[in-house]
Structure 1
């Protein structure tokens, strides 16, 4: 143990997905491309998230795959009937 360091816990601490409801930052940019597509879709559709559900599903899938959020059923996330990566519909002007 070094001065000022944490005490030894007698073993290695294993990491896991964060608790449900928490949304940790993607420090290493593992889902940056998906996030950018989602944000661009929101901007183009004046913040109407229903127009961007396919891109949202792709972003959440990336986060689950990379361990940035807990695996969950699409039904629980309200995206069970949405195709992943489906192009957003055009906003009405």
Structure 2
């Protein structure tokens, strides 16, 4: 059996910023735990946990688990400037049908 070479398959490329090693020694567990707790308390809305995100990233950088980077380069300022819109309230007894609008709404 002869398999033709498929030229559309590309070789994997490394991430732009290099590797992102796992925290095998659990050096940043406290920072990660604080962030996860914040997410749990805020209905998984990460925008409310930016300070915990920064602390976690700083811990990773300080422990050589990622390349050092200025916090300004992570886009936290854009999060502060963004208009935040809460998700619409959903009736759990009403089925959700993709592409179908509720009656009486203009959205």
Distance of 1:26 and 1:42 partners within structure 2: 20
Alignment match, 1:28: 25
SS in 2 for 1:76: helix
Is 1:19–1:70's contact at 8 Å kept on the other side of the alignment?
A: no
What TM-score results when the alignment is normalised by the length of structure 2?
A: 0.54
* Cα-Cα RMSD: 2.4
Q: Structure 2 stretches of 5 or more lacking a match?
A: 1-14, 79-107
Map 1:37-76; keep pairs closer than 5 Å. Answer: 37-76=34-73
Aligned residues: 65
Change (3 A) 1:80 1:61: farther
SS in 1 for 2:72: coil
Alignment deviations for residues 18-52 of structure 1 (CA, whole Å, 9 cap, x no partner): 96264321000000000000011111111111100
Structure 1 moving runs of 4+ over 6 Å: none
Q: Which structure has the higher relative contact order (CA within 8 Å, separation 6+)? A: 1
CA radius of gyration, larger in: 2
Change (3 A) 1:40 1:21: farther
